[in-house]
Amino acid sequence: MPMIGEEQRMTPDRPHEFPSLGDSHVLLTGATGFLGQATLEKLLSAHPGVRVSVLIRPRGGTSAQRRFDGLLRKPVFRTMRERIGEDELRRIAAERVNVIEGDLGEVTLPSDIDVVIHGASTVSFDPPIDEAFRTNVSGVVTLYEALHKAGADPHVVHVSTAYVAGVRKGVVPEARLDHGVDWRTELGEALAAHADVERDSRRPEVLRKSMARAQGEHRKAGPQSVVAAAEEARQAWVTERLVDYGRARAQSLGWPDVYTFTKALGERAAEELWGERRLSIVRPAIVESSLRHPYPGWIDGYKMADPLIIAYGRGVLPEFPGLPDSVVDIIPVDLVVNATIAVAATPPERGTPGYFHVGSGSRNPLSFRGLYENVRDYFRRHPMPAGERGHIRVPQWRFPGSRQVEMMLSSSERATSAAERALLRLPASAKTREWMTAVHRQQTNLDFLRRYSDLYQAYTKAEVIYDDSRTHALHRTVPADRVDEHGFDPSVIDWEHYLQEVHSPSVTELMRGFSKGRGGGRKSADPVLPERTDVAAVFDLEGTIIASNLIESYLWARLSSMPRSQWSGELADLARSLPRYLRAERRDRGDFVRAFLRRYQGADVAELNALVKDVLGEAVLQRVMPEAVRRIRAHRAAGHKTILITGTIDVFVEPLATLFDEVVASRMHERDGRLTGYLDAPPLVDEARAAWLRRHAADTGLDLSQSYAYADSYSDRPLLEAVGNANAVNPDPSLYRHAKRKHWRIHEWGAHTRGRGDVLIDTVGARSAR
């Protein structure tokens, strides 16, 4: 047991009576954050004399005052609202809260500030390095500059985190961090890293690589889609590199991640810039939902442990790397708020900053295993609903050790990405989509696991205790009758009660509501189409309205117009050419259309028209998907303009033409009553469709953002992206993946459509029966 330092045991500057903020003027930064909201609420509800200034940045056109008004409507004020009423709350807020709009760097702070509670910080553990430094280090610098400028001399309570101690074992004292890293150098380099990485990302080797990848995946959707994807990939690469810069630098200096690294340097900056005045540093551990105040279970969004709890409840965390006996230092937010306010009310001597750990690890430790068991028991008693399949059964963890979990994880990752690559090459079918969904789900789960197991290594494998003697000494000054309201002793937490009755119900509430909202079924009914005349419903033909394709309709036409004796020759020739067509199709839809339509060279126009009228029209209708027709008609009934865009030649569209206000099809060039095998104009495929649609919308006054499009192939992605309501119909694997990511509606149509072979036999049979 390491010795506790002299200065921690002796607190001569802390009188042994309950300190109060009295009628101080408190400046609160980060008031809209989790801890900030709770602090503001507590100051307003339990410290009637205190005046508060909050610093709020306007966001997305919402002014600071409006954001603050919004804050008053949040659940954190629910108890207070119920107690004193909406109007009284507003009155108190108007009277006691001064909203300062803007950034620390640009505003003028009031000069009469007594206390600053600096809670602003990044919420993410792995932001890009420049972003982390800007908030957690530059933010601190700016604060003190602003205070100097205002001529104020307050007691500053700097909210940090217990994990600034970095990767270490044993007991960490409440004292100045022991490291020699120069924060100014690190800050400068971090901010410069952005420019370096941006420059790197523009190197031709990097660009070519992302271009090649984008080509492979997006060529079918057209050239603009390829470059857009490549640029998107470059930006993603920049972010990823900067995140990596941060993580690597942090780990090279002994911190688990860039968050704790920058928070540690932030402390150093505060000590340097304000250490000669009155400075207290509060270091909470893992802050989670309230124990009691404002009401048990209050939380704002998901905190650190919550994604894991939910993932576990959904049955997707088979194991997690972590030591069963390591201490998970969780502390309810209301205890942190009470401690922070108590610290704020007890300024230290000038020039001797005070340090306070707020956690549960030292007085009431919760082991990783204890956390797991409580959460497991909670989900066994209250399993998450699984739609029509009843409830989810949660897995049993065996804590096999991080090496094994890591091995399991990386082999699963390899298998899934191989499976996805294979699936993307398969043709579109309900089965392929089912497999895609399974792989997609598996991948999401793995990504999640990977992300959190990397991130949380330090927190779930920690063999470290944060000493909290000074914090506890402060707690003991709280009079017995006020402990419930102002105390912050972690030993009052009954973990079983807190985890099973308070925290888990609170964090799963949102998810449960979500599952219920989906009605249990996977398929939700089609939304009602609003009646209006300024929107369009655009449909692709092949694969979307009819189940057949160019080759199929060619076979109908060709075989029913030639004697049976010549069929084998024609079929053999088609079979020989198929690989060529398939290659063209992979490369570019337009190439395929051009190449294939050459087969019509020499066909008699009059005969083809007669054929369509006699039998081919019927074949088209047999291959129609009734759901598509119903949908087109529903759009029409709602007053929408129905548009058909297809690369097929116009004669084959004839039987369906009356369903549409506008038909855009290919026309074949003819000479002397025969087709030449060439098109009159380039076929309307991939981006050309979107371009046509935009032009058409501009000419006719259609509102594309409210319009609808339906298509089945990845080459239609630009068309689908051109409208507000994109619908993927029996999508091919690439489009399916894209639609899933974009949360587009996905339809499975064609339940009553007749089979390809049946229709071919009927069609050529009907003709030769004449």
Partner 1 sequence: MSRPGFVLDVDERTPPLVVHQGEGFRLERLPLGSKVIYPPDSLPGIRDVDAAIRNALLHPHGTEPLPELLRAGMRLTIVFDDLSLPLPQMQTPDVRQRIIEHVLEMAAAKGVDDVELIAANALHRRMTPAELRRTVGDRVFRAFFPEHLKNHDAEDRDNLLHMGKTRHGEDVEINRRAAESDLIVYVNITLTAMSGGAKSVSVGLASYRSLRHHHNVHTLRHSNSFNDPPNSAMHHSYERMKGLIDEHVKVFTIETTLNNDTFPSSMGFLNKREWEWNVRDQATYLGVKRANELMPKKTRRRIWQNTAAPYGVTGVHAGLQSEVHPLTLQNVHRQQRTEVNGQSDIAIYGLPYICPYNVNSVMNPILVMSLGLGYFFNLYMNKPIVRQGGVAIFYHPVPNEFHPVHHPSYIDFFEEILTESTDPVLLETKYEEQFATDPWYIQLYRNSYAYHGVHPFYMWYWGAHALEHLGDVIFVGGNRKTTARMGFRSATTLADALEMAKDTVGGSPSISYLHAPPLALADVR
Out of 188, 626, 639, 682, name the contact with partner 1 by CB under 8 A: 626
Provide Rg for the chain, Cα atoms.
33
- In the numeric block, the tokens 């076979």 are attached to 555
> Which whole-number Å values give the CA distances from 569 to 641, 730, 759, 764, in the listed order?
45, 33, 21, 16
Out of 191, 408, 629, 691, name the contact with partner 1 by CB under 8 A: 629
Closest approach of partner 1 to the CB of residue 201, in Å: 52
Closest approach of partner 1 to the CB of residue 622, in Å: 5
Of 637, 657, 649, the C-alpha closest to 545 is 657
Count of residues that interact with partner 1, criterion CB under 8 A: 22
Q: Binding of partner 1 at residue 756 (CB under 8 A)?
A: no
Closer to partner 1 by Cβ: residue 206 or 621: 621
Out of 513, 658, 681, 741, name the contact with partner 1 by CB under 8 A: 658
Closest approach of partner 1 to the CB of residue 70, in Å: 42
Out of 414, 630, 669, 695, name the contact with partner 1 by CB under 8 A: 630
Closest approach of partner 1 to the CB of residue 629, in Å: 7
The whole-angstrom separation of Cα 159 and Cα 130 is: 21
Out of 753, 760, 763, 764, name the contact with partner 1 by CB under 8 A: 753
Q: Binding of partner 1 at residue 624 (CB under 8 A)?
A: yes
Sheet holding 708-711, edge to edge: 662-666, 641-649, 536-540, 708-711, 725-729, 745-747
Closer to partner 1 by Cβ: residue 385 or 617: 617
Site string for partner 1, 633-652 (x = CB under 8 A): x-------------------
- Is residue 294 reached through a cis peptide bond, with omega within 30 degrees of 0 on the bond before it? yes
Q: Binding of partner 1 at residue 590 (CB under 8 A)?
A: no
Closest approach of partner 1 to the CB of residue 768, in Å: 11
Stretch of 177-185, 315-323, 460-468, 749-757 contacting partner 1, by CB under 8 A: 749-757
Closest approach of partner 1 to the CB of residue 678, in Å: 31
Closest approach of partner 1 to the CB of residue 769, in Å: 5
HEC string for 340-402: HHHHHCCCCCCCCCEEEEECCCCCCCCEHHHHHHHHHHHHHHCCCECHHHCECCCCCCCCCCH
Out of 618, 650, 670, 721, name the contact with partner 1 by CB under 8 A: 618
The whole-angstrom separation of Cα 360 and Cα 331 is: 6
Kindly write down the DSSP assignment for every residue of 658-723, as one continuous string.
GG-SEEEEE-EEEETTEEEEEESS----HHHHHHHHHHHHHHHT--GGG-EEEE-SGGGHHHHHTS
Q: Are 642 and 662 in contact (CB under 8 A)?
A: yes
Tokens of 143: 């604060």
Q: Are 449 and 248 in contact (CB under 8 A)?
A: no
Closest approach of partner 1 to the CB of residue 568, in Å: 24
Out of 154, 313, 655, 683, name the contact with partner 1 by CB under 8 A: 655
Closest approach of partner 1 to the CB of residue 545, in Å: 12
Burial class (CB in 10 A: 0-12, 13-18, 19+), 649: buried
Out of 52, 129, 659, 675, name the contact with partner 1 by CB under 8 A: 659
Closer to partner 1 by Cβ: residue 233 or 625: 625
Closer to partner 1 by Cβ: residue 602 or 757: 757
Closer to partner 1 by Cβ: residue 169 or 770: 770
Which residues contact partner 1 by CB under 8 A?
Answer: 617-618, 621-622, 624-626, 629-630, 633, 655, 658-659, 751-755, 758, 766, 769-770
